[in-house]
């Protein structure tokens, strides 16, 4: 990990040709460098804070004009990084950008490493580690909903929610430390019962956040949805209908889909990897049989399975056989072809689905696809849907820190209740507190920080 002493620069907009390219510069040498390379059009115009000034960017020694554009200065500490920052808005041409970066480096700046602007913002105390990681999640979001969840974290929501728990833990530690330190004196300290109550409160808050990760992981990473069932029930038709495109081949012949077909889409702002599978049946055709094996593999890996059934055909032993195989999977039974006369009485549909939810749809007409999508969301997020929770832990690292803290506090609480000496209890409580610090980056090891910021793009 590089230090904070030098001045860094990078293209902050996407590389390639575009209307505008923004080059960002940050560090103590920023303004002296910019003053040498940027000549305002208006004679004597000064680079004033947060005001865009029109002018020419020139080569360091020759004074040759490289481009005309805008320069905006953000003096420390009121900038993204907390350092002096300048942004040059140039014409979006890769040759101009390269020349301007070269000119900046010629004056003493160096090209920033991936994530280095955000790392500086973190090291200068402009944001904590959770917020810095959220910056990357906003940039990498593939749906607006993902971006919104990340944006809530970037505004410090997780850190804010944790603050009361952390304060309570610190208070508890202080009480116990005082009991050790001033054992001989008659200090009015909280009883062990009160302290145990505090710890229980902290633990409850942690458990609530940890529980949200099951949903949060799905929001951040999306989920895999396998469409399975017997041949010809309309799996590929349903796959295409959910994608709104004719991606998978549909025919009236059984055994048309022989290999896995996978495509990305989104449902309610959650990214979904949809998998169309080969129809499940015993076949003597070697290729089809290999396809069926892949179908079982896809079902095992999927987060959710849509078991598609042709409700226009009478129920068969094969239907029951398949249903039995899927008993332990998380699946929704989809009664397809609802546009045709239905052969399954309602009681039979309920009996067949058992504890799994079931939905009637027509992949051909699109009828009730919205009900199916709602059922999928309910399966993943419960009644309230993905937007039901005020706070979701979406990052595995955050969840692991919270779990680590919970583990230490649980041990500390046991020690406290069993009457062990304060020192014993304190070991665990301090370990728990350091997990809070690890989460927000207060006690971050260097290699951890390097690992996190290296996954950013250059210029952020």
Ligand X SMILES: Nc1nc2c(ncn2[C@@H]2O[C@H](COP(=O)(O)OP(=O)(O)O)[C@@H](O)[C@H]2O)c(=O)[nH]1
Residue 28 CA neighbour count, 13 Å, CB half: 5
Pick one of Mg ion, ligand X, none as the site partner of residue 362 (Cβ within 5 to 8 A by kind).
ligand X
Taking the complex as a whole, the smallest distance from the CB of residue 23 to ligand X amounts, in Å, to 52
Collapse the DSSP code of 178 into the 3-class scheme (helix H, G, I; strand E, B; otherwise coil) and give the result. helix
Per rule CB under 5 A, is residue 232 in the interface with Mg ion?
no
Per rule CB under 6 A, is residue 295 in the interface with ligand X?
no
* Separation of alpha carbons 239 and 256, rounded Å: 14
Q: Which one, 283 or 362, has the nearer CB to ligand X?
A: 362
Query: Which residues contact residue 275 at a Cβ distance below 8 angstroms, ignoring those fewer than 6 apart?
Result: 224, 225, 226, 227, 260, 261, 262, 298, 302
Q: Which one, 256 or 262, has the nearer CB to ligand X?
A: 256
Count CB neighbours of 88 within 10 A: 26
* Separation of alpha carbons 38 and 48, rounded Å: 13
* Separation of alpha carbons 412 and 421, rounded Å: 11
Q: Which one, 111 or 260, has the nearer CB to ligand X?
A: 260
Pick one of Mg ion, ligand X, none as the site partner of residue 237 (Cβ within 5 to 8 A by kind).
ligand X
Q: Which of 184, 185, 252, 446 binds ligand X (CB under 6 A)?
A: 252
Taking the complex as a whole, the smallest distance from the CB of residue 311 to ligand X amounts, in Å, to 9
When CB distances to ligand X are compared, the closest residue is: 234
Residue 382 CA neighbour count, 13 Å, CB half: 9
Task: Tell me the CA distances in angstroms from 411 to 19, 171, 203, 326, 355, one per residue in order.
Answer: 58, 18, 11, 39, 38
Per rule CB under 6 A, is residue 364 in the interface with ligand X?
yes
Per rule CB under 5 A, is residue 236 in the interface with Mg ion?
yes
Per rule CB under 6 A, is residue 33 in the interface with ligand X?
no
Pick one of ligand X, Mg ion, none as the site partner of residue 184 (Cβ within 5 to 8 A by kind).
none
Per rule CB under 6 A, is residue 231 in the interface with ligand X?
yes
Number of residues binding to ligand X, judged by CB under 6 A: 20
* Separation of alpha carbons 459 and 258, rounded Å: 45
Taking the complex as a whole, the smallest distance from the CB of residue 216 to ligand X amounts, in Å, to 33
Per rule CB under 6 A, is residue 339 in the interface with ligand X?
yes
Residues forming the site for ligand X (CB under 6 A): 231-237, 250-252, 256-257, 279, 336-337, 339-340, 362-364
């Amino acid at each position: 990990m590089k230090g904070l002493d030098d001045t860094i620069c990078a293209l902050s907009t996407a590389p390639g040709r575009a209307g505008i390219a923004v080059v960002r510069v940050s560090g103590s040498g920023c303004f002296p460098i910019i003053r040498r390379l940027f000549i305002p059009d208006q004679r004597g115009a000064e680079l004033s804070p947060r005001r865009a000034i029109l002018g020419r960017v020139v080569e360091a020694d020759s004074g040759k004009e490289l481009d005309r554009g805008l320069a905006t200065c953000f003096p420390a500490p009121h900038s993204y990084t907390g350092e002096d920052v300048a942004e040059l808005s140039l014409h979006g041409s890769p040759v101009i950008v390269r020349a301007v970066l070269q000119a900046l480096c010629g004056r003493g700046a160096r090209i920033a490493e991936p994530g280095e602007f955000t790392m500086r913002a973190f090291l200068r105390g402009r944001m904590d580690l959770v917020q810095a990681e959220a910056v990357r999640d906003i940039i990498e979001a593939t749906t607006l909903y993902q971006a919104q969840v990340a944006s809530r974290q970037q505004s410090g929501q997780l850190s804010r929610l944790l603050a009361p728990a952390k304060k309570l833990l610190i208070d508890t530690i202080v009480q116990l430390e005082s009991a050790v330190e001033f054992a001989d004196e008659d200090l009015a300290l909280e009883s062990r019962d009160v302290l145990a109550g505090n710890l229980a409160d902290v633990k409850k808050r942690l458990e609530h956040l940890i529980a949200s990760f099951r949903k949060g992981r799905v929001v951040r990473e999306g989920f895999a949805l396998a469409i399975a069932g017997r041949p010809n029930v309309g799996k590929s038709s349903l796959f295409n209908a959910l994608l709104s495109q004719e991606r998978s081949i549909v025919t009236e012949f059984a055994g048309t889909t022989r290999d896995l077909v996978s495509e990305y889409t989104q449902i309610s702002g959650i990214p979904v990897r949809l998998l169309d599978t080969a129809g499940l049946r015993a076949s003597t055709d070697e290729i089809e049989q290999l396809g069926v094996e892949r179908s079982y593999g896809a079902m095992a890996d999927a987060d959710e399975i849509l078991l598609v059934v042709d409700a226009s055909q009478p129920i068969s032993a094969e239907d029951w056989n398949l249903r039995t195989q899927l008993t332990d999977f998380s699946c929704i039974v989809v009664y397809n072809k609802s546009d045709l006369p239905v052969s399954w009485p309602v009681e039979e549909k309920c009996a067949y689905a058992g504890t799994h939810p079931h939905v009637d749809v027509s992949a051909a007409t699109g009828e009730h696809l919205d009900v199916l999508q709602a059922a999928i969301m309910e399966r993943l997020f419960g009644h309230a849907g993905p937007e039901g929770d005020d706070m979701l832990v979406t990052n595995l690292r955050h969840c692991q820190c919270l779990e680590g803290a919970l583990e230490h506090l649980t041990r500390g609480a046991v020690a406290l209740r069993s009457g062990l000496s304060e020192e014993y209890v304190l070991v665990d409580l301090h370990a728990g507190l350091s997990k809070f610090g690890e989460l927000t980056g207060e006690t971050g090891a260097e290699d951890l920080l390097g690992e996190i910021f290296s996954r950013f793009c250059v210029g952020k």
